[in-house]
Amino acid sequence: MNRLYAYNHPKIEVHFNKNSDNFIVEEIPLYEFSGEGEHLVLKIRKKDTTTWGALQALSEVCGAKVRDFGYAGLKDKDGFTTQFISIHKKHEEKLSNFSHPKIKIVEKTYHNNKIKIGHLKGNRFFIRLKKVNPTQATIIKEVSKVIEKNGIPNYFGYQRFGKDGNNYNLGRAILTGKKKERNKKMKNFFISAYQSHLFNLWLSKRVEISKLFNSFNQKELFELFNFPKEIIKKIKATPNYFKLLPGDRLSHYPYGRVFLCEDIEEESSRFFKKDTTVTGLLVGKKTPTAEGLAGNFERDITKDCEEFCEKMNGARRFAWIFPENLKATYKKEEAWMELNFFLPKGSYATTLLEELLHDKKDV
């Protein structure tokens, strides 16, 4: 699907080569490690190697199985990445002389618990774009300011959907029984791609609604939407670029519980201050859904899977995120634009780069 961009600037065609010079990722832990406990925590740096590849290399040295390691998330193969992993400290001695051409242990400490998936605040990124002319550099800098102020839609990146963009169809076929997949890992991956596809469809529709509210007056909006006039008036008056609807499921930001949006004015004020954000549905069993007007738009998308919804494990996911410390530095002599920014967990550099450039980049 062609996802709808939030902002209206023209496409910016620049060059991006994803390698260890131009793409750097640093994982930020959820909390400080205690410095004591039975788990050894290693900070590793890897170059052009997957997280799985790094774990395999470490397991071959210490004798532990790959599944015995703890990690907060998978990092890209292409690029220079830093992340934390954990293993029982009984393996420490064998790892003390670890040496690998693409992987380095740069720090170690201890903690009481094994690192688990999702136990991170987010990631800090560095991206270098090349062949950037002065006019493009000006646009990138101005759009960067807008993005840091207003945020961006938290779409799933294209890489989730495969080279041909067809993974979600395979997931749907598995759920309907039209396709068999014996590999449990691949089965779950394809089903996840289907959930992600529905999420992106819904989010693109909500971005469209927000753009319309930002562009038209109340009278025009009343002709476009079958909303009560008072609701249109309240939504139009809110300061947020992304417009909340009655019945949205919100979450405290950058982490916290999910709750129902019952007062548009009050919740839009908190959203504008970046204290909360709107969530989207990863459809599945026992997952709270939106209600009211927001629920209508959610059901328009999820009706596709009503008959097999119970076969999936659902969740709610941030639909709108706020990149932090977004800096765009132009190196005129080299024609480079260097981007530095922080994103919360569960979001992609892909999303920010595509919104910034209005061009699909393989991140």
Looking at residues 291-314, what average pLDDT do you find? 94
**Domain residue limits, the chain:** 31-117, 153-321
Q: For residue 343, what are its two tokens? A: 């994103």
Bridge pairing between strands 23-29 and 80-88: parallel
36 exposure class (CB count in 10 Å sphere: 0-12, 13-18, 19+): exposed
The share of the chain scoring above pLDDT 70, in percent, equals 99
The reply to whether omega before 254 is within 30° of 0 (cis) is yes
Per residue in 319-339, pLDDT tens?
999 999 999 999 999 999 999
Q: Residues with Cβ < 8 Å from 95, sequence gap 6 or more?
A: 40, 42, 58, 61, 62, 87, 105
Tell me the whole-structure pTM to 2 decimals: 0.91
CATH topology of domain 31-117: Pseudouridine synthase (3.30.2350)
CA–CA gap between residue 106 and residue 212 (Å, rounded):
50
Q: For residue 131, what are its two tokens? A: 């062949």
* Candidate list 21, 76, 78, 263, residue with the active-site label: 76
Q: How many CB atoms lie within 10 A of CB 54?
A: 24
- Tell me: pLDDT of 160 over 90: no
Looking at residues 193-206, what average pLDDT do you find? 97
- Tell me: pLDDT of 255 over 70: yes
CA–CA gap between residue 1 and residue 4 (Å, rounded):
9
DSSP string across 106-159: EEEEEESS---TT-EEEEEEEEEEES--HHHHHHHHHHHHHHHHH-EE-PPPGG
Per residue in 124-148, pLDDT tens?
999 999 999 999 999 999 999 999 9
Q: Are 321 and 154 in contact (CB under 8 A)?
A: yes
CATH topology of domain 153-321: Pseudouridine synthase (3.30.2340)
- Tell me: pLDDT of 300 over 60: yes
Instruction: Work out the mean pLDDT of the chain and round it to a whole number.
Output: 94
Active site (annotated) includes residue 76: yes
Band the pLDDT of 10: cuts 50, 70, 90: very high
Q: Residues with Cβ < 8 Å from 255, sequence gap 6 or more?
A: none
The share of the chain scoring above pLDDT 90, in percent, equals 88
Per residue in 338-359, pLDDT tens?
999 999 998 999 899 999 999 8
Band the pLDDT of 1: cuts 50, 70, 90: low
Q: Establish whether domains 31-117 and 153-321 are of one fold.
A: no
Output the pLDDT for position 361: 61
Per residue in 18-65, pLDDT tens?
899 999 999 999 889 999 999 999 999 999 999 999 999 999 999 999
